[in-house]
Structure 1
């Protein structure tokens, strides 16, 4: 069940090492691209708690999560 809040999820590709931890926590939100770096392919794909857990478990802190409508920073 996806969350109600619209999210803007950014992955810093200068930092991402492609270990796919985010995919294991939010399987419908993140996927690795051709360069084996994470992409937020469906920001509404998983519940907010899972998206935040995925961002929190990124070993290189490459993920930023914001409310797409208000700009409120949700993570970090």
Structure 2
């Protein structure tokens, strides 16, 4: 994978499992309240970031292509 992704964590639905930060600590962290967040608004596109988003139990993580704005996850058909 290449390019840069805009990664967001929906604070309204995040249930604070911490799986994102545990699985990819260089890309995700927990805020003071224990909610996950991306360490940067844009991250390099990678299998790891996609796997973390896919493994979020409530799909609180959204990914879009930073250049085109195209949704990467969840897929547009979801």
Q: Which residue of 2 aligns with 1:58?
A: 56
CA RMSD of aligned residues (A): 1.6
Q: Which residue of 1 aligns with 2:43?
A: 44
Distance 1:49 1:25 in 2: 12
Once the two structures are TM-superposed, the CA of residue 25 in structure 1 deviates from its matched residue by 2.5
SS of the residue corresponding to residue 43 of structure 2 reads coil
Deviating runs (4+, > 3 A) in structure 1? none
Which one has a larger percent strand, Structure 1 or Structure 2? Answer: 2
Q: Which residue of 2 aligns with 1:12?
A: 10
Unpaired runs of 5+ in structure 2? Answer: none
Once the two structures are TM-superposed, the CA of residue 26 in structure 1 deviates from its matched residue by 1.9
Scaled by the length of structure 1, the TM-score of the pair is: 0.85
Scaled by the length of structure 2, the TM-score of the pair is: 0.83
Unpaired runs of 5+ in structure 1? Answer: none
